[in-house]
Amino acid sequence: MSGFLRHWIVLAASLGITAWVLPGVHVDSLAALLVAAIVMGFLNAVIKPVVAFLTLPVTILTLGLFYLVLNGIFFALAATVVPGFEVRGFGSALLGWLVMSIFAWFLGSLFQGPGQRARLH
């Protein structure tokens, strides 16, 4: 299985588990779940590095805590872009990102290919 497909499946599964566990995160359908996983992957791969670089002084001043806020913002941004995926409030977005990252790390470590390392999203 290719790395992109594996990463997409792991991200979608962890988002589905997060929506099942947290009452503030809701996904209407499997299609919304899959599209949300693609959007989150795109945001994390393309846009977040630029924003993280631009907000680096704030991240340094807050000893890295602003990066957690940035992750919550991108989780909520994905929910505003994808119909059928909703997050109720910033606290749910921050907690949703944290729970999804833990599940993605765990599932990614289970389904990693040969010679790959598990990474936290």
**DSSP labels for 66-80?**
HHHHHHHHHHHHHHH
CA distances from 107 to 38, 46, 52, 71, 112 (A): 17, 23, 26, 19, 8
Check: CB of residue 75 under 8 Å from CB of residue 40: yes
pLDDT confidence of residue 110: 84
pLDDT mean over 64-87: 94
pLDDT in tens, 1-11: 577 888 889 99
- Summarised one tens digit per residue, pLDDT across range 29-63 is 999 999 999 999 999 899 999 999 999 999 999 99
